[in-house]
Structure formats: structure tokens, C-alpha cells
Chain A
Amino acid sequence: MILVIFTAVVLTAPLWAKLIGAGYPDLLQKFAIFGLFAIGYNILFGLTGYLSFGHAAFLGIGSYTTVWSFKLLSMNVVPAVIFAVLLSGLFAVAIGYLSLRRTGIYFSILTLAFAQMMYNMAYSVLTPITNGETGLRVLVEDPRVIDRALGIQLQGVPLGDFFGITMTGYSAFYFCAVVLILGFWLSLKIFRSPFGMKLVAIKSNQTRMEYTGFNTRPYLLAAFVISGMYAGLAGSMMAVTDPLAGAERMQWTASGEVVLMTILGGVGTLLGPILGAATIKYFENIFSAFNEQVLNQAFDFLPDVLTHIMVTITSPFVGEGWHLTLGVLFMIIIIFIPGGLVEGINRIGKMLRGSKPEAEEKSGEEAVQSVEPETVAKGDAS
């Protein structure tokens, strides 16, 4: 049921996104790509509680692999995406195997260290592979063996294609949308499977799980690898929609961004991460386009003095300073509604229905835990 609604909402995105001023393909592609990234991240962080600060590395691997596949094999996106997911999965196995030997902050630092190493190497030593600061691009004179063999000639700007459909604008969005829906379907399956339940059990009490004679390591590793592959897929989508890969998407701030998205939307919930990703990307595009003129128009209905005051107050929060809005919003979410937007919506829903919201009576720390049983309950419902 939820999958049907989700599919409908995603596929009709170009229609309703116009209403909120987001109706252009570039932004919609970003919604889908970062939604995918956040869904995958949520499988690790939301279900097991392991806070990884290194997922951007897999994003970068996915992008680089895709561009290399474009360069060497074919402009067809199918092999490119498959290679990207496999390779990022491979890296995730190696990094996850080592990092998961530690828990808590030590795990976070280990993933951060691995990701930073890869980022720094992509900038320096690995320049022959990554093309350093310039970024890796698809060129007309690249070999592309399969395309050559089939006699496909590249026309104009190199763009990815899906058996004849060029990946640009809305066609690229629909490609991302289909991948997003598949990704969402998989995460739904994982949430509602015994495997997902075990991950949640690890989050709530790993020691107890181990005392019952349960080896948690393989499950954690599986979750890590799956979320790494999601990240690789998202990175691959980035390169599919725009055949370019740069090292900056591997930096730890990019890992931080996906953490923000997941938290903002709601950790451990199904829809939360996508909601968070869409919110952040939406504000990034909308807010960063604002300037004082727009503000002046927005507050025009007020008396002159008030307009001036309002513009002065709000102007640091928009345009270049939209990160400030993000930071403030993020802090408010963590402090008051640790369950993110999803919990916020639930609370409002409860208030509207007249029953007293439970979460308000509890202190913040309990509210965090109150999110988990809900997730589990959702899993049971199916």
C-alpha cells in the first residue's frame, strides 16, 4: 500500500513540484538521488544505530566507477550502474569489516578516517584515476569499446543513455525515480524482514543480543555493505545525470550532509530520510536563490520601517547564508523533536485528532526511544 502511494507520488513529482516552485528536472533529480542516499544510510544508522561519518566515500566511488564505465565501455547507463554498485559494495566490505570491530565513537572515527584517506588520495596520488581537482569527465575521444563495436557514434556533448533514451532533463529524472522506487521497495522489505528486526534488536541492546548466543557482526556487516551500495548507487546516479565526478563529493562534509538529512527527516523511519533529503535540497535551491530584493517584495505588505527590520533580520538566513538556516533548523530538530519531521508530523496529527500527544510528556531522551517501537510496529503491521 505504502509502496503504491510512494510510487504515485514520485512519478507525479513533476506535476506537484511545480506548485512549490521545484518543478524543474535538475532539482527533482537531486531529490531522488539524495533520497536514495539517505534511504541507504538509514539502513545502517536508523536500524543499527551505528553512526558512520564516511559514507561519502562510497558516493565518490560510485561516481568515479560510472564515469570510467562511460569512458571505457559504453555510454549505456546499465553496465555503469551495475559496476558502480558492485565496486562500492566491495569497498564497503573492506571498510566495514575493519570499522565494525569497534563501536560508538570509535566506529565513527574509523569510518571518518577511511573516508578522509580516500578523499585525500583522490586529490593527490590517485590523480591518474580521478583527474584530481579538475574532476573526471567523459571525452569524445575516449575508447568506449562496446559502443565502438556496435558502431554507435557519440554526438555532441557526452551524455549517458538508456538503450537510446538520452539521460537528460525529465528522462534522467524518471530513470532516477524508478531507481528510487526500487531502492525504497528494497528498504521496505528490509525493514519488515527478520533481518531488519535483528538490526533493530542490535540497536536497542547489542550486548544482550550477544549474550543470547547471537553473532551480531555478520548482520552489522551486511547492513553496512547494503548502505554502502546504496551510496554507490546514488553516486552513480549523480554521474548518470551529469557525467562528471569530482573528489569534493567524498569529503567528510558530504557524509555529514547525509547524516543531517536522515536526522532531519526521522531516523529509523521509512519515509523520514527521503523527506529530509528533499527538504534540505529544496531549501538549498530555494533559499540560496533569495536575495534582499526578493525579501523586500515578500515583506512589502508591512509598513516601511517594519519591512526594513524584517529584511535586516532575515537576510543573513537566505542566499549565501542558507547553511545558517540549516544549522538552526537542525539544532531545533535535535533538541525538541529527536524523531525528526516524521515525528513532528505524527505529533501534529495526534493533536489534530484531539488526543494528547504522548511524546510531549516524555523527556527528550525517552522520545528518541519512543520512535523505535513505532518503527517496529509498522514492520509488524505488514
Chain B
Amino acid sequence: MDAFLLQILNGLDKGGAYALIALGLTLVFGTLGVVNFAHGALFMLGAFVAVSVQKLLTISHKVKDESITFFDAYKETPYLEVWWGDVGTAIIEYSVPISVLIAIPIMLLIGLAMERGLVQHFYKREHADQILVTFGLAIVVQEIIKANFGANPIPVSAPEIVAGTAAVGAAFGMPEVVYPWWRMIYLFFSLSIIGGVFAFLHMTTFGMVVRAGMHDRETVGLLGINIERRFIVVFGLATVVAGLAGVMYTPILPPDYHMGMDFLVLSFVVVVVGGMGSLPGAVAAGFLLGILQSFASMNEVKAILPGIDQIIIYLVAVVILLVRPRGLMGKD
């Protein structure tokens, strides 16, 4: 039972990341009809916003360390600490939450630039062309990041106050069940973003128009609404969601330039399993596959079916696609 709960918890945060990326992919596909292979690159860009912010905040000046006399040793002190003392230290400490705020406008700009600059020319072309051009864009973005940040993963630290683990099982008499605080934060973060997106779509007039446009673009256009402009905003929203998912994921997994591709492939599987164009399907499939993956990596399961942890997601995808062609919640 302990192990069972632990695996569910472990799957949830990864599932959260899958769900967030898949949500953005589905939003873009449902509104603009574009299959965006560069969406993983946006996730990666978000993560590198966090890296850049941390680097900027910790720009240091070197002071000669007087306590060491054998050789010239230098102590590095970030300027922020020099200028503002404890406040500066606190700012550095909270670089990830700060990055979240900074990432929103940056990702929005990137999203709008991408839509206006590239994606809008591909609405009327085949899905294959859209896949290929965004795949090309993903390669370009990835290589630019690699050229600037190198090929190695760069660790980003979460605030120390949430560094430990939470004894979530203690209340149920299972003291072995612990869960890192940051992963729990990630889970709640992703849930609130998902909630926010759904609230935006279902409780605002803007969202209502977008949903109407997803159903029948032409009629909404005939009613005198400029639906395309709203869909562009949705594209920006999807970009921000992917970026934020990336920012918050940095303390869990040190980002490197190809993390986007790794997540993209899995997220595409998630989207297809959930049903192309179905938002609740994408979210449900994201969490489902995240949890399934962590169950499959249990030793007990691996003893019966060796190697299942490596292929479970793809296996589920194949079975679902063959049995339910439109995915879990897709409409025919």
C-alpha cells in the first residue's frame, strides 16, 4: 500500500508536466488546426528563462580571499548581496518564482512572434508541412540554446525553504511515504494553471468565443467576430503555459538543450491518447500516463515484465489508438 501511494505521488508531477505541454498542444491544434512540433522547444525555452534569470541574479564580483595566503584565492559575491545584503540573498534564493513572473511576458512575445512570423503561413497547408516546418524550427531553437548555454545540463536550485521532503503519509500512518516539497508545489502549480486555462475558456466571454470558434469557425466569423485574432491570443496562451511548465520543472530536472524534444515526443503521445483537440482528454491522459509510467518503474512490476518501464507509454498509445481511434475523449 505504501509503495502504491508513493508511485501515484511520483507519477503526478511528471504527469503534471505532460498535461501542461499536452494542453498547449491541444489548444493550438483545436483552435488553429496546427500540429506544432516546436512546442517542446517552448517548454525548453521556459526552462532556460529560469537558467538565465538565475545567471543574471548571481552575477558576481570577485574579492580576494585574505584568509588564504598560499595562493591567490578569490571569493565570489553576487552584486545583489553586495548592494542589498540580506534582501539580495533572498532574491537570489527565490530565482525560480521570480523567473515565473519574468517568463510570462517573454514567452508571450516569443509565442506571438512565432505565430505571426511563421505559423500563420501554414494554416492552409498540409499537416505534414506544419509538422516539418515546426520540427525545423525546433532544431534551430535547440541549436541556438546549445550554442549559448552548452550541451550539459545546468542545475537550477529551488528556494531552500522547500528543499526537503514532506511526510505526506504520516497522517495516514505511513511514515515511509515522503514527497519532495518542490514536486508537490509543481503538482499544485500545474493543477492551478490547468484550472486557470479552463476557467478562462469557460467563464469569460473571450473564452466562450474561442470555444465557439473551435466548434465552428466559419459561423463565428460570419457573426462578425474576428476569430483569428482571438486564436492568436490562444497561441500565445499555449506558449506561456508551456514556458511556465518548463520554468517550474527546472529544480526537478536540470535543463539541457534537448529536454524539449524528449518531452515533445511523449506529449504528442499524450495528446493522441487523450484525443486530438480534446482539452480534458489531454489533461487526463497526461496524468494517467505519468502515473502509469511510475507504476511501471516499480521493481515488483519490472520483475514480472522486464523493461516495461521503458515502453509503457508507447504501448498504451498503440493499444488506445488501435482500439479507440480518436483517443480516450476525442469526438468522431
Contact = CB atoms under 8 A, between A and B. Distances in A.
Does A pair with B? yes
Interface of A: 49, 51, 98, 101-102, 104-106, 108-110, 112-114, 116-117, 120-121, 123-126, 252-253, 256, 259, 263, 316, 320-321, 323-324, 326-328, 330-331, 334-335, 338, 364-365, 368
Given A104-B127, A335-B121, A324 B144 contact: yes
Contact of B321 (A110, A126, A256, A335): A110
Contacts of B311: 116-117, 120-121
Contacts of B322: 98, 101-102, 110
B133 A109 contact: no
A321 B143 contact: yes
A330 B139 contact: yes
Nearest to A110: B321
A263 to B, nearest CB: 6
B314 interface: yes
Nearest to A101: B322
B contact patch SS:
helix
A108 B310 contact: no
Interface stretch (B54-62, B239-247, B265-273): B265-273
B136 A334 contact: yes
A324 B143 CA distance: 5
Contact of A109 (B129, B146, B261, B321): B321
B306 interface: yes
A328 B140 contact: yes
Interface in B258-312: 261, 265, 268-269, 272, 276, 306-307, 310-311
A125 B305 CA distance: 10
Interface string B92-110: 0000000000000000000
B131 interface: yes
Interface of B: 35, 118, 121, 124-129, 131-133, 135-140, 142-144, 146-147, 261, 265, 268-269, 272, 276, 306-307, 310-311, 314-315, 317-318, 321-322, 325
Contacts of B268: 109, 112
B315 to A, nearest CB: 7
Contacts of A331: 118, 133, 136-137, 140
A51 B129 CA distance: 10
Contacts of B317: 109-110, 113
A235 to B, nearest CB: 21
A105 B29 CA distance: 12
Nearest to B276: A105
A273 to B, nearest CB: 15
Contacts, number: 118
A332 B24 CA distance: 26
A105 B139 contact: no
22 contacts: A102-B321, A104-B127, A105-B35, A106-B321, A109-B272, A110-B321, A112-B269, A114-B314, A116-B311, A120-B307, A121-B310, A124-B307, A320-B147, A323-B142, A324-B140, A327-B143, A330-B132, A331-B137, A334-B133, A335-B118, A364-B121, A368-B126
A345 to B, nearest CB: 20
Nearest to A107: B321
Nearest to A319: B147
Given A98-B318, A110-B321, A116-B314, A334 B132 contact: yes
B292 to A, nearest CB: 14
Contacts of B131: 51, 105, 108
A126 B306 CA distance: 10
A327 B137 contact: yes
Nearest to B123: A365
A259 B128 CA distance: 11
Contacts of B138: 327
Closest 7 CB pairs of A and B: A125-B307, A327-B139, A120-B310, A324-B143, A327-B140, A113-B314, A331-B136
A327 B306 CA distance: 38
Contacts of B315: 113, 117
Nearest to B305: A125
B129 A321 contact: no
Given A110-B318, A117-B310, A365-B126, 13 more contacts: A51-B131, A98-B318, A105-B35, A110-B321, A110-B322, A113-B318, A116-B311, A121-B307, A124-B310, A327-B136, A331-B118, A364-B125, A365-B124
B262 to A, nearest CB: 10
Contact of A112 (B118, B126, B265, B310): B265
Contacts of B276: 105
Contact of B146 (A105, A120, A321): A321
Contacts of A259: 132, 135
B214 to A, nearest CB: 17
A258 to B, nearest CB: 12
B272 A106 contact: yes
A324 B147 contact: yes
A368 B129 CA distance: 10
Q: Please indicate which of the listed interface residues B124, B261, B314 has the most CB atoms of chain A within 10 Å of its own CB.
A: B314
B148 to A, nearest CB: 9
A109 B307 contact: no
Nearest to B151: A320
B269 to A, nearest CB: 6
A244 B317 CA distance: 32
Q: Please indicate which of the listed interface residues A49, A113, A256, A259 has the most CB atoms of chain B within 10 Å of its own CB.
A: A113
A316 B147 contact: yes
Contacts of A51: 128, 131
Contact of B139 (A112, A320, A326): A326
Contacts of B136: 327-328, 330-331, 334
Nearest to B314: A113
Contacts of A108: 131
B272 A365 contact: no
Contacts of A121: 307, 310-311
Given A256-B135, A327-B136, A330-B139, A49 B128 contact: yes
A335 B119 CA distance: 10
A105 B127 contact: yes
A365 B125 contact: yes
Contacts of A263: 132
Nearest to B133: A334
A324 B148 CA distance: 12
A42 B296 CA distance: 37
A123 B318 contact: no
A31 B33 CA distance: 37
